[in-house]
Amino acid sequence: MSTVDAPGAPRRPVAPKARGGVVQSFSDSLIVARRNLIRMLRIPEVIIFGLFQPVMFVVLFSYVFGGSISIPGAGTDPEDYRSFLMAGIFAQTVTFATAGAGAGIAEDMHKGLIDRFRSLPMARGAVLTGRSIADAVQTALTLLVLAVVAVLVGWRINEGILKALGAFGLLLLLGYAFTWIGALIGLTVRTPEAATSGGLVWLFPLTFVSIAFVPSQNMPGWLQPVAEWNPFSATVQAARELFGNLPPGFQAPDAWPMQNPVLASVLWSVLIIAVFRTLAVRKYRSATG
């Protein structure tokens, strides 16, 4: 830090000027992402325990609910339900990573690490962007493990590898978008515990009032439009189509996101990123200003 002198006033520190430019901001973000990834590798139990929940969901929903939930066009065939289910489990997994992202940022704020970053000549948004990139890498690893488990319980890709990669891309994009919601929560609350609770309290209704686990046709009439216009539902429906996991006689609801799920998924994710990244960066600057 440098200092400035004013007549009759004590010397006071001045924070280094942050370097600007898109290239520099991207470079700073990668440095922060690398720091977070190294930290994750040094605490492997966080990654291991993070894999347990989605694996348990796959097994429990496949063998407990399989055969008891009716799918339009397929009835209650357990095999068809497992195919129908997996896109919902994948989407739930990437969005539940939001709670961990918020807790991590809240912990950094609580320990004063954010203030140390602020004292460096780096792009102000790089701290949050780097954290979101690291979380996306961890989410991708979780999806990979989850896909292997899904194959073991009978799930299959029926539309080719390229479409499947597109489906995983949409899932990761949704997870990245929701990470920014977690970042905003982490910057708003005072403790990591509050960030974890705040990150989950809204995720449960979002994921369950959707088409992730049951078709919207099985819901009360007033609830069906809510589920069909849910951003989460658009990505789930898009993934099912790209994986080829829809039953042969399945008819998608008439709502626009269900008829155009790939486009709807991209639009929802981009909108969430644009809104919540702006709010999170603004909150970060005011919190450390």
Q: Name the strand (E) or helix (H) holding 6.
A: strand 2-6
- Give pLDDT, residue 247: 78
Q: How confident is the model at residue 87 (pLDDT cuts 50, 70, 90)?
A: very high
The yes-or-no verdict on residue 12 having pLDDT over 60 is no
Amino acid at 242: L
pTM over 0.85: no
Query: Mean per-residue pLDDT for 209-223?
Result: 89
Radius of gyration, alpha carbons of the chain: 22
- Give pLDDT, residue 1: 46
67: DSSP letter = T
For 265-274, the pLDDT digits (tens) are 999 999 999 9
- Give pLDDT, residue 272: 96
What's the mean pLDDT when you consider all of the chain? 81
Q: Tokens at residue 76, please?
A: 């209650």
Cα–Cα distance, 176 to 171 (Å, whole number): 9
Of residues 192 and 163, more confidence is placed in 163
Q: Tokens at residue 207, please?
A: 């994921």
Neighbouring CB atoms inside 10 A of 188's CB total 18
Query: Mean per-residue pLDDT for 24-38?
Result: 81
Query: Mean per-residue pLDDT for 215-229?
Result: 91
The yes-or-no verdict on residue 14 having pLDDT over 60 is no
Q: How confident is the model at residue 243 (pLDDT cuts 50, 70, 90)?
A: very high
Cα–Cα distance, 228 to 251 (Å, whole number): 13
- Give pLDDT, residue 260: 96
Q: Name the strand (E) or helix (H) holding 287.
A: helix 261-288
Amino acid at 3: T
- Give pLDDT, residue 70: 67
For 46-67, the pLDDT digits (tens) are 677 777 777 887 777 777 776 6
Neighbouring CB atoms inside 10 A of 116's CB total 10
Query: Mean per-residue pLDDT for 12-38?
Result: 68
For 74-86, the pLDDT digits (tens) are 556 667 777 888 8
Cα–Cα distance, 179 to 201 (Å, whole number): 15
- Give pLDDT, residue 145: 86
Q: How confident is the model at residue 209 (pLDDT cuts 50, 70, 90)?
A: very high
Do residues 282 and 257 lie in contact, with contact meaning Cβ atoms separated by under 8 Å? no
- Give pLDDT, residue 287: 65
